[in-house]
Amino acid sequence: MEQSINWGVIAPGRIAHRFAQGFESIDDGRLFAVASRNIERATSFAKQYEIPHVMADYEEIINHPDIDVIYIANPHRYHHETVKQCLLAGKAVLCEKPLTVTAKQSIELFDLAKKQNVFLMEAVWSRFLPCWTQVKVWLNEGIIGDVQLLRSTFGFQPPKDETDRLFDINLAGGALLDTGIYNIALSEFVLSRQPNRIQSAVLVGETGVDERCTVTLDYGDVTSQFTCTFLSQLDNQFHIIGSNGTIVINGNFWDAQSATLTTNVGEVLKCNKPQRASGFEYQVDEVHRCLRNGQIISENMRPEVTIANMKVMDQILEDAGVVYPFVER
Q: What is the largest CA-CA distance in the chain?
A: 61
Are residue 104 and residue 131 in the same domain, yes or no?
Answer: no
What is the DSSP code string of 12-44?
Answer: -SHHHHHHHHGGGG-SSEEEEEEE-SSHHHHHH
Is 32 among the domain residues?
A: yes
Are residue 152 and residue 85 in the same domain, yes or no?
Answer: no
Quote the pLDDT of residue 268.
Answer: 97
Quote the pLDDT of residue 286.
Answer: 98
| Residue 148: pLDDT over 90 | yes
Quote the pLDDT of residue 160.
Answer: 86
Mean pLDDT of 224-239: 97
Q: Domain boundary residue among 82, 98, 123?
A: 123
| Residue 257: pLDDT over 70 | yes
- Bridge pairing between strands 69-72 and 92-96: parallel
| Residue 79: pLDDT over 60 | yes
Q: Domain boundary residue among 123, 148, 172?
A: 123
Are residue 201 and residue 65 in the same domain, yes or no?
Answer: no
Are residue 149 and residue 22 in the same domain, yes or no?
Answer: no
Is 311 among the domain residues?
A: no
Is 319 among the domain residues?
A: no
Quote the pLDDT of residue 2.
Answer: 75
Please give the helix or strand (H or E) that residue 214 lies within, else none: strand 210-218
Mean pLDDT of 87-99: 98
Q: How many domains does the chain have?
A: 2
Mean pLDDT of 233-247: 98
What's the chain's average pLDDT? 96
Are residue 181 and residue 262 in the same domain, yes or no?
Answer: yes
pLDDT in tens, 109-139: 999 999 999 999 999 999 999 999 999 999 9
Please compute Rg for the chain using Cα positions: 20
Q: Confidence band (pLDDT; 50, 70, 90) for 228?
A: very high
Are residue 78 and residue 169 in the same domain, yes or no?
Answer: no
Mean pLDDT of 320-324: 96
| Residue 265: pLDDT over 60 | yes
Is 299 among the domain residues?
A: no
Is 39 among the domain residues?
A: yes
Are residue 117 and residue 149 in the same domain, yes or no?
Answer: no
| Residue 1: pLDDT over 60 | no
| Residue 7: pLDDT over 80 | yes
Q: What is the DSSP letter of 267?
A: -
Are residue 219 and residue 195 in the same domain, yes or no?
Answer: yes
Per DSSP, the three-state class of 147 is strand
Are residue 96 and residue 143 in the same domain, yes or no?
Answer: no
CATH of the domain at 189: 3.30.360.10
Q: Domain boundary residue among 107, 123, 139?
A: 123
Are residue 135 and residue 96 in the same domain, yes or no?
Answer: no
Taking each helix axis as running N to C, give the angle between helix 14-21 and helix 39-49, from 0 to 180 degrees, rounded to the nearest 10. Answer: 20
Is 318 among the domain residues?
A: no
Percentage of residues in the chain having pLDDT higher than 90: 96
Per DSSP, the three-state class of 328 is coil
CATH of the domain at 57: 3.40.50.720
Are residue 70 and residue 85 in the same domain, yes or no?
Answer: yes
Q: What angle do CA 291, 292, 297 make, to 5 degrees?
A: 35
Q: What residues make up the domain containing 52?
A: 5-123
Quote the pLDDT of residue 92.
Answer: 98
pLDDT in tens, 150-165: 999 999 999 988 888 9
| Residue 16: pLDDT over 90 | yes
Is 197 among the domain residues?
A: yes
- Is the distance from CB of 219 to CB of 196 less than 8 angstroms? yes
Separation CA 327–CA 79 (nearest Å):
13
Q: Confidence band (pLDDT; 50, 70, 90) for 329?
A: low
pTM of the model: 0.96
Mean pLDDT of 44-54: 98
Q: Confidence band (pLDDT; 50, 70, 90) for 240?
A: very high
Are residue 203 and residue 111 in the same domain, yes or no?
Answer: no
Is 291 among the domain residues?
A: no
